[in-house]
Amino acid sequence: MAAIIQEAARRRTFAVISHPDAGKSTMTEALALHASAITEAGAVHGKSGRRGVTSDWMEMEKARGISITSAALRFEYRGHMFNLVDTPGHADFSEDTYRVLAAVDCAVMLLDAAKGMEPQTLKLFEVCRHRKIPVITFVNKWDRPGREALELLDEIQERTGLKPTPITWPIGNGGFFHGVADRAADRIVRYTRTPGGATKAIETDLSAEQAQAELGEDWERAKDEIDLLSAIGSNHDQKTFEAHESTPVLFGAALSNFGVGRLLDAMVDIAPAPTPRPDVKDDPRPLDEAFSGLVFKVQANMDPSHRDRIAFVRICSGKFERGMVLTHAATARPFATKYAQSVFGQERATIDEAFPGDVVGLVNASALRPGDTLYDGLAVEFPKIPSFAPEHFSTARVRDSSRSKQFRKGIEQLDAEGVVQVLRSDVRGDQSPVLAAVGPMQFDVVKHRMAVEFNTEIAMDRLDFGIARLTDAESAPILARQRGVEVFTRTIDGALLALFTDEWRMRGVMREYPDLILNALLADTRG
């Protein structure tokens, strides 16, 4: 059992999150590069265009240059095992980001140096606060014109309530980024960019005298600001960081690989290791208890040649050994783990053992859904991952009736993965299910994947609904008779959802029938 505790202590499981276009996938690639997990960054911006990054494996992601799905990258650094989960790069897929945050111990929040606290950034800070996830803030794109560093710190504290405690401080700004003063390590580091930013930036240690001679006024200004930070007590404190009361701050530029290595070091030095996870009864499951794990992501057809389905499982306790037969908490049925893999973007390798904090991919997991629990020994079930309140609704129908079987299979699979929520009703029948989404781009993913993976073209027709509420069997018949209201069954869990054209119509129904059950779903985290 001591070995399990030791292995857990060297795990770091974290997500990279931010407002769209702040550089999440580029940062993911840069972290893997600095950990020597890859030899050359895949995110290369130049006149020749942008190569797809390691974590972006879907063709639609490569074409649009954004992350649409979450992806897991596993690699070692400084004797520690990192499980880095990249998250979608668009607010329409924020539900996927929420699932990822249910599986990590820490988050790296990227801020755009020029834009600061954007709407999605603030929402994600709130989600992390709710889930008690410590946040390390990385101010990205500091090699471009942007805002003043002290101004950004003020904004962080004012809008999140977290005290910013810079670990590094930039020397130069506005596109003239020389390097950083490392307050924690008492170093002055100058960065030199390599061609195209494809390899690690060159780091040169400077003495205070060298910094004065070579960097002049920029060093003088940085030194004065550092003295101010010390005077007001903006120093890293591990207790307040882990309590989500402060956020360590680092400055750099992921595309140029500036400050990325220091972020990796911070993950080793201050990011929390796995701790006992509370079950549905709020009883923490000890790390050295028998195996337990939480399914936070299900993804099919990552490798078109295999056409299989992978369930990403965050190990919460115990030692995982490939081949062990676990219990699926939702059904009490056995689940065999003969095909278990570690994942690095789209690349996969067989994994024989894993420990708390690790992310393992279980292949051919058709019975598993996001939020499910697997366990060995003493029974346990972890809290479900709530679904977001959808705001966009469309019917889906197959264009070629001879592809009806493939249509049904594809819709069922995308529903199980959580790509969209699938709603059905006796009135509309099974031939034209209603798809419910947080954002309209989810519908684009459905059409793309149905065409590519199931060779089935579908048509989608938008429905004029904008609000969904949970209801019950007694309220459903009354609601179904109201103008501008329809009631559906959500196929993934059997929940009854009442759809309203708008909030005005919903309030009107509630005034007329005050005893109806209408409960809000999980609030959306989009800006």
Q: Are residues 137 and 160 in contact, defined by beta-carbon separation less than 8 angstroms?
A: no
User: Residue 89, annotated ligand binder?
Assistant: yes
What b/e readout covers 487-526, taking b as 16+ CB neighbours within 10 angstroms?
bbbbbbeebbbbbbbeeebbebbeeeeeebebeebeebbb
The 10 Å Cβ neighbour count of residue 269 is 14
Please report, in angstroms and rounded to a whole number, the separation of the first and last CA atoms in the chain.
45
399 torsion bin: left (phi>0), alpha (psi -120 to 50), beta (else): alpha
Encoded amino acid at 398, one letter: V
The crossing angle, in degrees rounded to 10, of helices 441-454 and 404-417 is: 130
Query: For residue 54, what are the contacts with CB-CB under 8 A and spacing of at least 6?
Result: 28, 29, 32, 38, 42, 73, 344, 345, 346
What b/e readout covers 105-138, taking b as 16+ CB neighbours within 10 angstroms?
bbbbbbbbbeebbbebbebbbebbeeeebbbbbb
Residue 19 burial (C-beta neighbours within 10 Å; 0-12, 13-18, 19+): buried
User: Residue 88, annotated ligand binder?
Assistant: yes
User: Residue 86, annotated ligand binder?
Assistant: yes
Angle (CA) 485-523-20 rounded to 5° is: 115
Q: Which two tokens stand for residue 504?
A: 């005005």
Instruction: List, in sequence order, the alpha helices (H) in 260-355.
Output: 260-269
Query: For residue 456, what are the contacts with CB-CB under 8 A and spacing of at least 6?
Result: 398, 400, 403, 406, 407, 410, 450
Encoded amino acid at 275, one letter: T
User: Residue 284, annotated ligand binder?
Assistant: no
Cα(294)–Cα(100) distance, rounded to whole angstroms? 11
Q: Are residues 373 and 295 in contact, defined by beta-carbon separation less than 8 angstroms?
A: yes
- Sequence ranges of the binding site for GTP: 86-90
- Sequence ranges of the binding site: 86-90
